[in-house]
Amino acid sequence: MSTSEDLHARRLRAVRAWTQFVADGEEEAETVRPEILSSWQLSGVVSPDVTHAPLADEGDTADFWNQSPLQTAVSRVQDELRRTAEDGDLVIAVTDEQTRILWTYGGRVMRRKAETVNFVPGGRWDEASVGTNALAIAGRTGAPSMVFSAEHYAEVVHNWVCWAAPVFDPASGRPLGVIDLSTTWDRTHPIGLATARVMARLIEGALPSDRRTTPLGAAAPADPGLTLTLLGTAEVWLDGQRLLLNRRQTEILALLAMHPGGLSVEHLHSLLYGDSSVTTSTLKAEVSHLRAALAGQLSSRPYKLTLPVTTDVEEVQRLLRRGDVRAAVRAYGGDLLPGTESPALVQMGDYLAVSVREALLVQPDPDAVLRYSDLAPYDTAVVEACLASLPVHHPVAPLLKGKLAAGR
């Protein structure tokens, strides 16, 4: 069978699965990729007949783009992005964290197609706005995604194939948005997803090096001293000023915050690197950079922070001890320093996740469970426990049932 025949057969299977799902609200698991089926279930608030994405306010979108570090990064690599779009007759889009498109560039044919469905700056491409698509899945999961033809929930884009990859701030690990490459389904190519990943890394490498300003819409911590946000992201603030640190330096600060009495160089090395063959001189160099960033407020022998320190990890633990599960879940932003390889931090992250989960099983507050299910969508036991504790007609019950269906 030729490549063209393969693609036509694949498209036919996708159309059949989509038609059955739209008609019956269910689909055989083996015929649809799990991430697509999960996204279809989340897309139920949208009509599959939607003809275009809703548009955000044009002025707000432009203001956000002009103040975003993504704008600087894209301007630095736009020649390569545009060349990729023109060579492959693609439309390339960059979004914010909420999957609102901030910038696009397209080849001649795809540019016209994109405009008809509001695949343009201001277009909202989250699942609640337009249903399943690669941008929405990549933004929600933090992982690259490909959506082919009728895997899209909206029929208007069944002729498309899209590859998307999340863009992260390399210093903090915080998600900034998504880059997406789209073309017609018959131009599907195995290298599409890899290209999206390369474009995401290209943008990350072009981000401005000095990003010590407060993120748009966020408030700097008011308390003096060191403030560490470690759950679901990584941000470090000194006296209300955001510090630009690399991941390893943030991990060192997290470990020192967990050990206020101080750590010897050997103990810190073990907690940070485990059995990895990293020299103590490498660790000492990182500590030296940290000491400079903290204006000398990091002592030696042992390594110890000599200024007030607050962390979101400490806050979640305090709230759990107090029995305020709702506030604890609100403060719990997700995994501790996602992607960390520090054995001590991985262990602490696992311990905290189990503590939050067990607290919810004992006290399944519906609002807290709804938030938790966004962070741990496949942990259906917590949702089931909450549903079992609620009256049948509780207003949150339908939302929890939707979460339960999506997580299975």
Half-sphere exposure of 312 (CA within 13 A, CB side): 23
DSSP string spanning 52-96?
S--B--HHHHHHHHHHSHHHHHHHHHHHHHHHHHHHHT-EEEEE-
For 165, the enclosing helix (H) or strand (E) is: strand 160-168
Residue with tokens 């269906």: 405
Residue type, position 177, single letter: G
CA distance 91 to 179: 11
User: What is the model's pLDDT at position 215?
Assistant: 42
CA distance 228 to 345: 14
pLDDT tier at 17, thresholds 50, 70, 90: very high
CA distance 287 to 300: 9
Instruction: Return the C-alpha torsion angle 209, 212, 213, 214, nearest 10.
Output: 120
Cα 301 to Cα 268, 276, 305: the distances in Å are 11, 23, 11
The structure tokens listed for 64 are: 């956000």
- Going through 123-169 in order, the beta strands assigned E by DSSP cover 145-148, 160-168
Left, alpha or beta for 118 (phi > 0: left; psi -120 to 50: alpha)?
left
pLDDT tens sequence across 273-288: 998 888 899 899 989 9
Task: Kindly report the backbone phi and psi dihedral angles of residue 37, in degrees, each rounded to the nearest multiple of 5, phi listed first.
Answer: -60, -45
Residue type, position 52, single letter: H
CA distance 286 to 273: 13
CA distance 198 to 369: 36
Provide the 3-class DSSP secondary structure of residue 281: helix
User: What is the model's pLDDT at position 408?
Assistant: 59
pLDDT at 220 exceeding the cut of 70: no
pLDDT tens sequence across 33-59: 988 998 998 888 899 999 999 998 888
Asked whether 272 and 254 are in contact (CB, 8 A), the reply is: no
User: What is the model's pLDDT at position 216?
Assistant: 38
CA distance 259 to 363: 30
